[in-house]
Chain A
């Protein structure tokens, strides 16, 4: 069914990851930092740091998916 136009569907598959991954990485960073803060009791600092890590991870995934860096990963 799906292999009439594999390239279009593949682009669709890879491009549809972008939005959700950006949000999900940020949210996971926030959750990890918040959890560590509650366990260790270290103020807002770990929340801030891990949220920044999450944002960086989200943008790293975004740039990889778009193909701006790490072009070595994909060979079509």
Chain B
């Protein structure tokens, strides 16, 4: 992937020179600093200090996924403020990027939910951008994506779960929303209610486990490969196989998460609407 682009741009030779230079610098640094034994209990994972301690946030060393969550929040807020600070009819580069992203989200919402879809842009857009930034952060070796921790993904999935139930109740009213759990046949209603209830509870579990499992597995492989980078081969495997693969995984997992959130919201908002037409 990167080879093709570099081939077209600089005729191929420059790319290989840069690659060889990178590998050489990496090997030199690694051999200089490398311990003479392989010690895997010191995984090369960065842990950010608690940089909000002066605001009164407790704990000198927060867990890494919390501080990286703050870092991603900071990135997203800075990009949002910079992108929308001076809106112009002919957008500059940053405003252009922000507009493209927002229009992609709006297009997906229109496609999946329909004409009432754009009111869910704050939830879907925030979740999608957060997960995308977090997953892409995991591709920088040494950094830890917050979505590789189950707590973060459970928080996201529970938010989505409560939100789509709230949207359904707000649209149809509490009793009507519960009635649509019960199925069409009245004497099956208690059993159907329990079954649908369990089925709905399984949704946040599957959402959170899928995202966490994919990113955590990818991150574990990357950490092991990078920690063995002073052997040449793991570094090349990371560069050639894991990096394109994890870029792909990051985008696909983000897409799957927001896609399923939109499917759930569409189900909660629309299904009772179909029953009115019966």
Contact = CB atoms under 8 A, between A and B. Distances in A.
A28 interface: yes
A73 B256 contact: no
Interface string A1-39: 111001001101110110011001101110010000000
Q: How big is chain B's contact interface, by range?
A: 20 to 34
Given A20-B209, A24-B205, A24-B209, A13 B195 contact: no
Nearest to A2: B255
Contacts of B205: 20, 24, 27-28
Contact of B206 (A6, A17, A54): A17
A72 B104 contact: no
Contacts of B107: 3
A73 B267 contact: yes
Interface of A: 1-3, 6, 9-10, 12-14, 16-17, 20-21, 24-25, 27-29, 32, 50, 53-54, 56-58, 60-61, 72-73
B251 A32 contact: no
Main secondary structure of the interface of B (DSSP, over half): helix
A12 B252 contact: yes
Contact of B202 (A2, A9, A25): A25
A28 B209 CA distance: 13
A2 B107 CA distance: 11
Contacts of B206: 17, 20-21, 24
A3 B104 contact: yes
